[in-house]
C-alpha cells in the first residue's frame, strides 16, 4: 500500500481549514506543514490537524519531507507560490482564481503546461457527487445533445464589507465557480453576455461591484448556458443545476439534511432548511477533490479534474463578464 502523501498547506484561513480537515479525514494524506503569514493561524492548524507550523511559504515548499502543496492563501500570492512549486517540481492544488490579472496568469502558462508535476485548480464543485452524476448522464446521452444548461448560485448573505474591494468583483470571486461548471459541460464557449445588478446592498456601489448578476454563455455548438448569481438568499445556500435536451431534462435541486417532508393543516410539503454554509453543502466535494488530486499525483488519470488551463479559461470568461456588464454588450471570447 502506498504511503500517505505529505502535504504543505499554504494559508490557514477559512478555506485553508477546509483543506486541513479534508487531509485529516483522508487515509491517504497527512498534513506535514501548516504555513501562514500569521504564524498563530499556522500554529492552531498544526495543533488541530498535525504537522509543524511556519510563516515561510518557500521553506514549506522546499522542505525535503513534503510531497505536494495546497495553495489556500490570498489570491495575490497564488502566482508566486505556483512558480515556487514549479521550481521545486512539486504537485500543487491551487484555489481559484489563479490571479485577478490574466497577464500574470499567462506569464507562467507555458511553464505550467510543460510541468511534469500536475497543477490542479480548486474548482471543488466539479466533484460534488450530485453535479458529477448529472454531468455523467448528460455525457452518456440520456437527454440527447445538450441544448441548455441553467446554473443557479446564491449565497446566504454578502461577504464582509472589507473583503469586497479585494475580491476582484462578483464575476471573478463568486461566478467563477459557475463559469467553470459551465465549461465542464460545454468546454468551448464563444460569447458572453452579462448583466451586473445592484439590488439590495447599499454599499456595493461604493466598491464599484454588483450584488447580483445574470450571465448568458453560448457554446460553439449553439448551446446556451444561463447563470444566475446573488449575494443573498433568505432560505439558505441556493445551488441548483438543470440540463435540457431534445430527449428530456436532468436537474439537481438544493441539498437538505434529510429528504423528509411534512404536510399539515398549516403548511404542505415543507422540508428542512437548505444548507447555510458552503462547507456544509460541499464537504463531500472537497474530500473528493483531495482524493482526485492525490490520484493525479500518483499518476492516475482523473476525468474532469480541472487543471491550469481550466483556471485560466474561467478567468478569461470572468473578465469577459465584467466587460459585458459594464459596457452593455456581448463579448466574443477565444479560450485557446
Instruction: Quote the DSSP letter at residue 86.
Output: H
Give the Cα separation of 47 and 179 in Å (integer).
Answer: 37
Asked whether the predicted pLDDT for residue 198 surpasses 70, the reply is yes
CATH of range 125-332; options 3.40.640.10, 3.30.360.10, 3.10.310.30, 3.50.30.30? 3.30.360.10
Asked whether the predicted pLDDT for residue 334 surpasses 80, the reply is yes
pLDDT tier, 248 (very low <50, low <70, confident <90, very high otherwise): very high
* Residue linked to cell 490520484: 295
Asked whether the predicted pLDDT for residue 14 surpasses 80, the reply is yes
Architecture of domain 5-117: 3-Layer(aba) Sandwich (3.40)
Asked whether the predicted pLDDT for residue 165 surpasses 90, the reply is no
List strands edge to edge, sheet with 238-245: 248-252, 238-245, 148-154, 224-230, 212-219, 189-197, 331-332
| pLDDT at residue 263 in the model | 80
Instruction: Quote the DSSP letter at residue 76.
Output: G
Of all residues in the chain, the percent with pLDDT exceeding 70 is 99
Q: What mean pLDDT do residues 173-195 have?
A: 98
Residues 140, 148, 177, 115, CA torsion sign: positive
What is the location of CATH 3.30.360.10 in the chain? 125-332
| pLDDT at residue 260 in the model | 80
What is the location of CATH 3.40.50.720 in the chain? 5-117
pLDDT tier, 29 (very low <50, low <70, confident <90, very high otherwise): very high
| pLDDT at residue 268 in the model | 77
Which triple of cell numbers denotes residue 94?
A: 491551487
| pLDDT at residue 20 in the model | 98
pLDDT tier, 265 (very low <50, low <70, confident <90, very high otherwise): confident
Nearest to 6 by CA among 70, 58, 54, 55: 70
| pLDDT at residue 285 in the model | 95
Q: What mean pLDDT do residues 194-209 have?
A: 94
Asked whether the predicted pLDDT for residue 170 surpasses 80, the reply is yes
| pLDDT at residue 277 in the model | 67
Which triple of cell numbers denotes residue 48?
A: 488541530
Instruction: List, for residues 73-92, the tens digit of each pLDDT value.
Output: 999 999 999 999 999 999 99
Average pLDDT, the chain: 95
Q: How many CA atoms lie within 13 A of 84 on its CB side?
A: 21
Asked whether the predicted pLDDT for residue 279 surpasses 80, the reply is no
Amino acid at each position: 500500500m502506498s504511503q500517505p502523501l505529505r502535504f504543505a498547506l499554504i494559508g490557514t484561513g477559512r478555506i485553508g481549514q477546509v483543506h486541513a480537515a479534508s487531509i485529516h479525514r483522508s487515509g491517504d494524506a497527512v498534513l506535514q506543514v501548516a504555513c501562514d503569514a500569521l504564524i498563530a493561524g499556522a500554529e492552531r492548524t498544526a495543533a488541530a490537524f498535525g504537522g509543524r507550523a511556519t510563516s515561510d511559504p518557500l521553506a514549506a515548499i522546499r522542505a525535503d519531507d513534503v510531497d505536494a502543496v495546497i495553495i489556500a492563501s490570498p489570491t495575490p500570492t497564488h502566482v508566486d507560490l505556483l512558480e515556487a512549486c514549479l521550481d521545486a517540481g512539486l504537485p500543487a492544488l491551487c484555489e481559484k482564481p489563479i490571479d485577478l490579472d490574466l497577464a500574470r496568469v499567462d506569464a507562467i502558462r507555458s511553464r505550467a503546461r510543460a510541468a511534469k508535476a500536475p497543477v490542479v485548480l480548486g474548482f471543488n464543485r466539479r466533484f460534488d457527487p450530485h453535479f458529477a452524476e448529472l454531468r455523467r448522464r448528460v455525457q452518456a446521452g440520456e437527454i440527447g445533445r445538450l441544448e441548455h444548461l441553467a446554473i443557479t448560485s446564491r449565497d446566504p448573505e454578502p461577504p464582509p464589507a472589507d473583503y469586497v474591494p479585494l475580491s476582484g468583483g462578483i464575476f471573478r470571486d463568486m461566478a467563477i465557480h459557475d463559469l467553470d461548471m459551465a465549461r465542464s459541460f460545454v468546454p468551448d464557449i464563444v460569447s458572453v453576455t452579462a448583466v451586473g445588478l445592484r439590488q439590495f446592498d447599499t454599499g456595493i456601489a461604493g466598491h464599484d461591484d454588483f450584488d447580483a448578476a445574470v450571465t448568458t454563455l453560448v457554446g460553439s455548438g449553439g448551446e446556451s448556458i444561463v447563470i444566475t448569481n446573488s449575494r443573498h438568499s433568505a432560505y439558505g445556500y441556493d445551488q441548483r443545476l438543470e440540463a435540457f435536451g431534445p430527449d428530456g431534462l436532468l436537474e439537481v435541486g438544493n441539498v437538505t439534511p434529510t429528504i423528509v417532508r411534512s404536510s399539515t393543516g398549516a403548511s404542505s410539503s415543507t422540508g428542512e432548511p437548505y444548507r447555510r454554509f458552503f462547507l456544509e453543502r460541499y464537504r463531500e466535494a472537497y474530500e473528493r477533490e483531495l482524493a482526485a488530486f492525490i490520484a493525479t499525483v500518483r499518476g492516475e488519470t482523473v476525468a474532469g479534474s480541472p487543471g491550469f488551463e481550466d483556471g485560466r479559461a474561467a478567468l478569461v470568461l470572468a473578465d469577459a463578464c465584467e466587460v459585458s456588464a459594464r459596457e452593455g454588450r456581448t463579448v466574443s471570447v477565444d479560450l485557446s
